[in-house]
Amino acid sequence: MACRISELVIDSRDPERLAAFWCDVLGYVVLDRAGGGAEIGPVREGFGS
């Protein structure tokens, strides 16, 4: 049986900077900002794709 991580939550003092770092590393974009955090993911795909 295959397993795929679909979400990962990381507590951060500077979520915008952390999101920018991972976007650069993975080639992702910021999909949403809510509650002082940021959701990142592949371009035009989003959660669950």
SS3 45: coil
pTM for the full predicted model: 0.73
What's the rounded mean pLDDT across residues 7-35? 93
pLDDT computed for residue 7 by the predictor: 86
Q: Are residues 26 and 18 in contact, defined by beta-carbon separation less than 8 angstroms?
A: no
Residue 19 has pLDDT above 60, yes or no: yes
Mean pLDDT score across all residues of the chain: 87
Residue 45 has pLDDT above 80, yes or no: no
In the chain, the N- to C-terminal Cα span, in Å, equals 18
Q: What is the dihedral of CA 26, 5, 30, 24, to 10 degrees?
A: -10
Task: Kindly report the backbone phi and psi dihedral angles of residue 21, in degrees, each rounded to the nearest multiple of 5, phi listed first.
Answer: -60, -50
